[in-house]
Each structure stands twice: as structure tokens, then as C-alpha cells.
């Protein structure tokens, strides 16, 4: 069931697009969140998995946790990455599932989709693909994934129930989610929910 709030979703998506297009193009610019290798280290990504990655693959990483802290992925699994950004988690997932597996990242920012596609090519990962789309309407068929991962993006979606419904739709029976995200410990009032600056700042 979708939740209706007094929020201009078009305006919110536009603000997020501008911000994350900047993260893709100018990762060292400085944002209200951390990015890159230092962030991956702080979030507990194993050094041996990220140390050899080119700067372009990791410089625009802007997660809030490590979805693989819930466990590694398995050879041959099909994975969907919700809000894949510049592709760090998707590319690590592609390495874990191997050539018999597949990873599809979905992101609303064309600049991020373009960058993640370049990053996959630079690593020679033919089992990682990226698509532009909204998490509330995933451009994927039913029951097509063994695992759904996400890192710091569901909190930016106004209709979280619809995002989770879509994640459930694309999961196969017995599939699982490995999500890292931000939660608040107290309710946000309607005025706060409608404030674009609180979503993006």
C-alpha cells in the first residue's frame, strides 16, 4: 500500500539528481556525507577487496553501511542493487557471484548509470549491468533475483512501502535482502517530510 505525504516528489527527485550527478562528476568536491576509499574503510569493507580497485570505481561511493556484512553472496546468484550509484557494491557483488551469476544495478541518476557502466567495463565484468529507473517501479521482471542489496538509498525514497513491495516482487521465493540504510528513532512530522532540504541535506 502506497503512503501519501505532502511532498513534491518531482522537486525531490530533481534535487537528488543534481546532488548525485555532482557526486558522479566531482567526487572530491565535498558533500554533507563522506565518499570514496576512506568511507569504505570506515564502513568495514575488507581492504583486500577495495585496495586494488581503480580510483574511478570507488571515488563516488557514498554508502552508509556495508550490505555484505550480512554475508557474502554465492556463486551463480542473481542480484539486484537498489540505488547502485557509481557501482561499487554491484561490482563487488559481480565478483562474488562469478560469471555464472548476474548483477543488475538500478539508479535514477543517468550520470551514475553511465559511470557504473564504465566502471564495470574497466574491470572486465560482463556480469554486471546498470539501468536507469526508480526504485518504486523497478525495470525488472518478477522473481528474477536471489538477492536484493541496497546501501543508503531507500531512505531517500518517499514511498518506502512501494520500494519494499517492488523488492519483494523481483525476489524469487526464498530470496533475501541485504540492506544498509539510515533510520530515524522518532516520527518525522508532516512539515519535516515535506521539506526537500531535510531529504537532501
C-alpha cell at 174: 526464498
On whether the CB atoms of residues 141 and 53 are closer than 8 A, the answer is: no
Residue 49: pLDDT band by 50, 70, 90 thresholds? very high
How, if at all, do strands 145-151 and 128-132 pair? unpaired
Q: What percent of the chain has pLDDT over 70?
A: 95
pLDDT of residue 1: 47
Burial of 116 per CB tally in 10 Å (0-12, 13-18, 19+): buried
C-alpha cell at 162: 512501494
**Tens digit of each residue's pLDDT (9 = 90 or more) over 81-120:** 999 999 999 999 999 999 999 999 999 999 999 999 999 9
Task: Name the architecture of domain 9-192.
Answer: 3-Layer(aba) Sandwich (3.40)
pTM summary value: 0.92
Domain boundaries, the chain: 9-192
- Calculate mean pLDDT across residues 56-60: 95
Amino acid at each position: 500500500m502506497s503512503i501519501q505525504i505532502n511532498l513534491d516528489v518531482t522537486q525531490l527527485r530533481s534535487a537528488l539528481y543534481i546532488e548525485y550527478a555532482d557526486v558522479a562528476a566531482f567526487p572530491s568536491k565535498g558533500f554533507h556525507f563522506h565518499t570514496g576509499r576512506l568511507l569504505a574503510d570506515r564502513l568495514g569493507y575488507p581492504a583486500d577487496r577495495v585496495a586494488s580497485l581503480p580510483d574511478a570505481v570507488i571515488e563516488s561511493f557514498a554508502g552508509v553501511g556495508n550490505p555484505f556484512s550480512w554475508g557474502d553472496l554465492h556463486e551463480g546468484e542473481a542480484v539486484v542493487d537498489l540505488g547502485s550509484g557509481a557501482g561499487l557494491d554491484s561490482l563487488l557483488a559481480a565478483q562474488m557471484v562469478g560469471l555464472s551469476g548476474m548483477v543488475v544495478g538500478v539508479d535514477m541518476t543517468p550520470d551514475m548509470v553511465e559511470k557504473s557502466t564504465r566502471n564495470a567495463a574497466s574491470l572486465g565484468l560482463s556480469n554486471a549491468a546498470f539501468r536507469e529507473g526508480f526504485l518504486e517501479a523497478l525495470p525488472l521482471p518478477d522473481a528474477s533475483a536471489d538477492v536484493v542489496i541496497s546501501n543508503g538509498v531507500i531512505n531517500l525514497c518517499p514511498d518506502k512501502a512501494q520500494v519494499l513491495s517492488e523488492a519483494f516482487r523481483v525476489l524469487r521465493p526464498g530470496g533475501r535482502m541485504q540492506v544498509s540504510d539510515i533510520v530515524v528513532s522518532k516520527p518525522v512530522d508532516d512539515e519535516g517530510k515535506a521539506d526537500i532540504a531535510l531529504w537532501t541535506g
